Amino acid sequence: MKDYGIYEKVKLNGIVPGRLIRHTRADSAIIKSHWHQELEINTVFEGSSRFFINGRIEDVTPSHVVVINSREVHSSIPFFPQGGICVTGVTIQISYDFLKKVIPDYDNCYFILNNMAERKIQLLLEEMNKKCKTQDAAYMNIYAIKQICEIVYILATECCMKREKFEATSSESFQRFEHVLNYVHENYSSNLKTSEVAERFFFSKEYFCRLFKKNTGMTFNQYVTQCRVIHAEQLLKDTNTRISEIAQEVGFSDEGSFIAQFKKYYSKTPGNYRKMITKNPFYD
């Protein structure tokens, strides 16, 4: 299972048995395949994301929650609907050691959300997201512990199944497809051609195109373009590199095509986007 995902060591603060990650910037990142011991829960407030989890696909839209069980290999890609809405939301990762202490036989537990539990957890995550902005820092640890315990209680009492019965297994073709995604994420700036990538992973071009469209909702070329645009957006925020150089660095053939594609996703030219970030220090 773990031969095609990178192990991630999750860092906690030593007091709270988990951490909350707020995705508040007007950008969207591709999360490469990885796994960790911690239980992970994700929800979005705007936009949507597609998660690849141990050979299954879950689309997360506003009001939906996805649980990634301990040691599951997972990755995700953002979806850009018409109008350039980007993905915002939260991720909570809960300590494996804590879960082992409070849930009997935790290693044999597999959490599957039902509708009622999903709604309860969604409300708790929304509340945590709001409290992060207003809660007195002196009491934030106490509040976070309380919320995490509530979430764990819901999962343990309403959603716990036997792991061996419900853990998804990847098909060989899906494992190969995840290798394809990792390859694209590492080589998006190269001149990637559909036929050559299909051949590299022992797919026929026709089957590869169908498989890619089914699993990502877009063609291979559209996906590569999205990877380039997302990485370019990071460079616009994090560096002072000239736009023409960014275009070249992420794999666009010329500055004009980069500007046109960037505007499709973010509804602004790269230059105007960079100006917006510079003017607004609270953009994060």
- pLDDT score at 284: 42
What is the pLDDT averaged over residues 174-200?
Answer: 89
Give me the pLDDT at residue 4, please.
46
Q: What are phi and psi of 197, to 5 degrees?
A: -70, -40
Mean pLDDT of 130-144: 81
**H/E stretch holding 42:** strand 39-46
With cut-offs at 50, 70 and 90, classify the pLDDT of residue 133.
confident
Q: What is this structure's pTM?
A: 0.72
Q: How many CB atoms lie within 10 A of CB 267?
A: 14
Strand partners, 44: 89
- Return the structure tokens found at 212: 């890619």
pLDDT-based confidence at 68, cuts 50/70/90? very high
Task: Select from 260, 257, 235 the least CA-distant residue to 246.
Answer: 235
d(CA 94, CA 180): 30
Q: Give residue 112's Cα distance to chain centre.
A: 19
pLDDT confidence of 135, banded at 50, 70, 90?
low
pLDDT in tens, 228-247: 998 898 899 889 999 999 99
Alpha carbon distance 137, 79 (integer Å): 34
Q: What is the mean pLDDT of residues 248-272?
A: 92
> 164 or 179, which is more confident?
179
Helices (H), the chain: 96-102, 115-134, 137-158, 163-166, 172-187, 194-200, 205-216, 220-238, 243-250, 255-266, 270-279
Instruction: Map out the domains of the chain as residue ranges.
Output: 2-166, 172-279
pLDDT band at 38 (very low <50, low <70, confident <90, very high): very high
Report in angstroms the alpha-carbon separations of 3 from 27, 176, 197.
30, 12, 20
The region of weakest confidence among 38-47, 171-180, 213-222, 231-240 is 171-180
Q: How confident is the model at residue 215 (pLDDT cuts 50, 70, 90)?
A: confident
Looking at per-residue pLDDT, the higher value among 54 and 25 belongs to 54
pLDDT at residue 171 is higher than 50: yes
Give, as one character, the DSSP assignment of residue 9: -
Polymer length of the chain: 284
Surface-to-core class of residue 53, CB atoms within 10 Å of its CB (0-12 exposed, 13-18 middle, 19+ buried): buried
Predicted pLDDT of residue 51: 92
For residue 259, give Cα distances in angstroms to 60, 83, 139, 175, 244. 29, 16, 46, 34, 9
CA distances from 280 to 20, 25, 133, 183, 241 (A): 24, 12, 18, 35, 19
Q: Which CATH architecture has domain 172-279?
A: Orthogonal Bundle (1.10)
pLDDT digits (tens, 9 = 90+) for 87-123: 789 999 999 999 999 998 999 999 999 999 999 999 9
Distance between CA atoms of residues 164 and 58, nearest Å: 20
Q: What is the pLDDT of residue 28?
A: 59
Contact 23, 89 (CB under 8 A): yes
Q: What is the pLDDT of residue 169?
A: 52
Fold (CATH) for 2-166: Jelly Rolls (2.60.120)
Choose among 19, 37, 40: nearest CA to 141: 19
- pLDDT greater than 80 at residue 172: no
Q: Three-class SS of residue 146?
A: helix
